[in-house]
Amino acid sequence: NEELAAFYTILHTASIWSVYQPIVSLKDGTVFGYEALTRGPEQSGFRSPLKLFRMAEQEGKLYELDKLAREKAIRGCRNLSADQKIFINIPASVILEPDFTPGQTMRLLRECGLNPTNVVLEITERTSVENFEMAKRVLEHYRKQGYQIAIDDAGAGYSSLEAIAELQPDYIKIDRSLTEQIHTSRVKEYIVETFVTFATKMNISLIAEGIERLEDLDKLMRMGVHYVQGYLLGRPDKALLVPDADIHQF
Ligand code: G
Ligand code: G
Ligand code: MN
Ligand code: NA
């Protein structure tokens, strides 16, 4: 099978890299941080991380690929300033892997001149956490080291606000399905209002994803959302954080 061969070639030659999409603060317009998004080789059929990670899961290689992606994400962002964050996607199942420890990532961070306080782990709300109590404990471990936690794709999955609260995240990322055309949808407005109220009371910061229109940005800003991410603010770009001369290495 050609597709399978292509997948294993990518995995064994570590030929993936990260692009970085800015997350902008609505308080002062500065770039608060970047989400790292994995990309595969152009012609491989695995350009998209969704396809790549789906195949990895089928092949029982999710942890391996994810670890590689994390390494690429951290190594690729040497231009991050001390007060900026790098947001890294972590599949829920990876949290439960015994090998997924703060120490493992720490060595890599130090090599790159970064600290755990520069890192936000994005846990998607779409995949359910099988062993919730254990996942909570693992994340608590990370938090104690200074890492922060974000719940990704909020509003798109099935977890309740109570389940989100249990994980005590530092950020909630509101899914694009709720922010797209919010300026014309009262239903979306009411749902996001609920998130704003909840986040404010829980002392959690809100990040609105997938912003493509000024009208939506304006609306979300007036509603009290703290940070925004989307094509309007910036596309995922590899050149953002890597000096030109080094791009070929990724
Ligand atoms: O960039 P976009 O097509 O670019 O990414 C699609 C999805 O793939 C993201 O929403 C995210 O959930 C997932 N994804 C992107 N990069 C990574 C990664 O490095 N690790 C994991 N686990 N998922 C990723
Ligand atoms: O991890 P997550 O599922 O949230 O990843 C975000 C996905 O959304 C990535 O595939 C990224 O490339 C994509 N994305 C980021 N900004 C926008 C946007 O403004 N519009 C659309 N359609 N997609 C976006
Ligand atoms: Mn994400
Ligand atoms: Na998301």
Contacts for 66 with CB less than 8 Å, ≥ 6 apart: 53, 56, 90, 91, 94
> pLDDT for 57-80, tens place per residue?
999 999 999 999 999 999 988 789
Ligand 2 atom 20, closest CA: 210
> In testing the pocket of ligand 1, which one of 50, 65, 74, 177 has its CB within 8 Å of the most ligand atoms?
50
Q: Where are the domains of the chain?
A: 2-241
User: 26 is written with which tokens?
Assistant: 């609505």
Amino acid at 237: D
In CATH, 2-241 is 3.40.190.80: no
Distance CA 102, CA 115 (A): 11
User: Positive or negative CA dihedral for 218, 213, 89, 79?
Assistant: negative
Candidate from 170-179, 201-210, 238-247 with smallest mean pLDDT: 238-247
**Which residues surround ligand 1 with Cβ inside 6 Å?**
37-38, 48-50, 53, 66, 69, 89, 91, 124, 236
Of the two residues 179 and 96, the one the predictor is more confident about is 179
Per-residue model confidence as pLDDT tens digits over 38-58: 999 998 999 999 999 999 999
The model carries a pTM of 0.94
**pLDDT the model gives residue 126:** 60
Tell me what ipTM this predicted complex has: 0.96
